[in-house]
Structures are given as C-alpha cells and as structure tokens.
Amino acid sequence: MRTFVHAVAPIAARLHNKTVKELFGQVALQHRNRLRVRNTVIFVLSVLTVASCAASFIAWRNFTESRSNELAAYSSQWLSRDPTIAFRLAEQGNVM
C-alpha cells in the first residue's frame, strides 16, 4: 500500500496544483483534526453515559424511598382496622 501512495502522490499533487509535501501535509492535518473530533465525541458520550447512570441511580433511590413512605402511610391507616395488615405493610416498607 505504501508504494501505491507513493506512486499516486505526484499525480494527485499535480491535479491539485500543489507540491507533494503540501498535499500530504494537509492530509496529515485533516487526519489529526478528525482524530481530535473523534476523541472529543468519545469523551462527551462517556460523560453523558456516566451522568445518565448517576441520574438513574438517584431516580431509583427516590422511587424506593417514596414507595417506603407510601407503605408507611398505608400501614398507619390500617393499624386501627387490622393490625396484621398494618404490620405487614410496615415490614414491606422497611424492606425497601
């Protein structure tokens, strides 16, 4: 492949009205720029992935806390009517 590039380089340079060094200097510059863009995109996507995982953890913790509070409220309502159900609801609230 290297010989192909060296064979085609003078032809491509002549078509673009540039020297071989200028043409392949631009190619190297574009390659570095594309690598920089690719690495930036990878970094941003990684940060967004970590942020979404953290947000889902917080959402799950809030859900379990609210469910526990809901069961505690039901437990206090059932205490006067049926203590067995009230204690089971309270137990479920503590398990979460």
d(CA 85, CA 78): 7
State if pTM tops 0.85: no
Range of the domain at 64: 2-95
Spatial neighbors of 67 by CB under 8 A, at least 6 apart, are 93, 96
Tens digits of per-residue pLDDT, 60-77? 999 999 999 888 888 888
Tens digits of per-residue pLDDT, 4-51? 878 888 888 888 898 888 887 887 889 999 999 999 999 999 999 999
Q: What share of the chain is helix, strand, coil (3-state, %, to 5)?
A: 90, 0, 10
Confirm if 67 and 96 have CB atoms less than 8 A apart.
Answer: yes
Banded pLDDT at 1 (limits 50, 70, 90): low
* pLDDT at residue 2 in the model: 67
Q: How many structural domains is the chain composed of?
A: 1
* pLDDT at residue 23 in the model: 80
